[in-house]
Amino acid sequence: MPVGTAIRAMCRAPKSREGDHFQAAVGLRSQLESYTPDVPDWTCDQHTNRGKALGRGLDYFRAESTKLVPAPAEKDPYEDEAYRLWELKRKGVQPTAATRGKGTVRTTANCSDRKRGLAPIRTIGACPRFASISPITPMTPIPQPN
């Protein structure tokens, strides 16, 4: 269902060759002219080795790496809760015994967690990189006309 939704959204979206042109301007240029783009310092956050070496964690990520230009007109109603939960996850908080297996889903933070013996209870999607603890709500059947 999510793949079908994504395909329909892309089919309805305005068309552009910008992706092809970007690939040539950066990718093909690097192959043909040994071009290496400069990586701005602000891109080095907790997700990169350089950012980790600089001690950049969740606070830096929230303040710098997630900036949107132009800024959204309205505040994201889920942002504060997402960062609260990411901080709990960073601290190693796991689902409680009361919720384990009862409508919650825990996925590992990344694929290397399996190597450390932290297998997921259940995963969402094809790769366990998308970490979350979220309720599962059953689908309600759509009433069919008689």
pLDDT digit string (tens) for 84-96? 998 998 899 887 7
Give the contacts of 45 (CB within 8 A, at least 6 positions apart): 51, 56, 60, 61, 64, 65
Give the contacts of 26 (CB within 8 A, at least 6 positions apart): 35, 37
Please say if the pLDDT value at position 122 is more than 80. Answer: no
Please say if the pLDDT value at position 82 is more than 60. Answer: yes
| pLDDT band with cut points at 50, 70 and 90 for residue 113 | very low
| pLDDT band with cut points at 50, 70 and 90 for residue 100 | low
In a domain? residue 49: yes
In a domain? residue 88: no
Give the domain range for residue 58: 19-73
In a domain? residue 56: yes
In a domain? residue 66: yes
- Using a cut of 0.85, tell me whether the model's pTM lies above it: no
| pLDDT band with cut points at 50, 70 and 90 for residue 144 | low
pLDDT tens, position by position, 22-43: 999 989 999 999 988 888 998 8
Q: How many domains does the chain have?
A: 1
